[in-house]
Structure 1
Amino acid sequence: MKVRQPGFDFASIRPHWAPVREFAQSYNAFSTVPAHIEPYLVKVMMRVKDELGEEHQALRENIEIFNKQEVQHCKQHVAFNKMLYKLGYAGMQDLEKPYRDDYASFLANRSLRFNVAYCEGFEAMGSAAGQVFFEELEDYLEGADQEAVDLWKWHLAEEFEHREVCFQAYKALFGSGPFAYFYRVWAFIFAVKHIGTHTARVAAYLNGVDRESMTPEERERSIERQKTLKAKISKASRKRLLKVLSPFYNPGKMIPSPGMAALLARFG
């Protein structure tokens, strides 16, 4: 693990940065997640670090790197999202506010166990999303704007790189017995539903804006492309995410996707 500071320039990126615009809008919707979840992750893991004893010094050091990586993810996606607001999708911000407020509520009203387990659930989603992006979506990435592709590959490769930090933090604080296992699985399912509901709303808004200027025939084709994309990503994600439900799940044993190491080497 290491901290990287890529110098992305989003000034010339189009909202439809991939040939299949519904694919681009799907990931544009996902881009609202790191803008708000990453600051939350950092705050939770700072609390974790304060709770860990000296016997967990290595984990404490990894949390430092983890937090710095997440700050970079937030910074880059906030810049990307501002480009989307300026290019006709300012309504995204109305959908982001309740999502952002959820994290403030979690920090104020939920237990540390819940917050750490939720973070681990998101990180499990992130590592699976990285595998899907690197291994399953070549057809959608062909001909896409390189800056946007690099943003997602860098981000998701780092998500995979630090995939076990929250898992180890949860284990260190709350153990690995039956209750810890079932609570982790429950929080994972909660996180999947919570994040998935938000991104679906944003994607619906983005595609809705696009479809306002389409003919009925174009709109039907757009809806069909979105259904095909959703089915492909759901199938590719499901077979990876089901592993998270196992009592023997250990993200540290997962093997990086081909191309992840080379991509990260480009950014230092």
Structure 2
Amino acid sequence: MRSSVEIYNIVTRETRVVWQTERLVEAPNFSRDGRFLVINGGGLLYRLSLDGGEPVQIDTGFATLCNNDHGLSPDGRLLAISDKVEFGKSAIYVLPAGGGTPRLVTPNLPSYWHGWSPDGETFAYCGIRDNVFDIYTIPVAGGKERRLTFGEGRNDGPDYSADGDWIYFNSSRTGRMQIWRVRPDGSEPTRITDSPYGDWFPHPSPDGRHLLVLSYDGEVFDHPRDLDVRLRLMDMDGGNARILFELFGGQGTMNVPNWSPDGAEFAFVRYAPPA
């Protein structure tokens, strides 16, 4: 699979290529200073400079089967990862952003990290318990997880709004995957999109103005990689939704928070069959 790591500017509507490779890489996160991206590939994490050059591996210790659910803390000092080496199922860990020994956050498995609260104190994630996909939160320091959804369809991809008042997620509770939001205490579940698409991975912008969504054709239920998809931008309440562009992608394109710190750009991965 050929991977092209790219950045789109919502003001100029221009796309620039950061790096291309003949191997599979996924899920770019912006650093808090906007100077590099974090990506995953082959079970490892890498730092990719926006100034050019090859990616540099991040030391994740024993965690060598990392998936595409990872992200930097609001202050840029910590890195959340999801890895399955230790238990054979995805578990959430935290480690220094520069690399180090991962610390387990929740023993409940499988769990897939998706978002930091704006104050850096809480994780939002998808957990599968008794084959049910639901949204959970837990203190970064560890403790008891809080369940926010209760088996109303499949619930996945949670990410906090910039003010911390809402957690956005995608849910199939109405039959087709759409975007919803809920308060951090689990109250006020609210539907955001009512589209003909299968909407996944909502990412609120850091300036609180926009919501970025990856949309499959309506008949696609899961989030496979090798399909034509579209990236859509809308207001935080779902209004003024428009397609920015279409691409070949899906899984790995933008699973986790991917906005630049100023909210003017976002990173994504475009895929293509090998040359």
TM-score by length of 1: 0.25
Quick one: higher RCO (CA 8 Å, sep 6+), 1 or 2?
A: 1
More helix by share: 1
Normalized per residue, which structure has more strand? Answer: 2
Bigger CA radius of gyration: 1
TM-score normalised by L of structure 2? 0.25
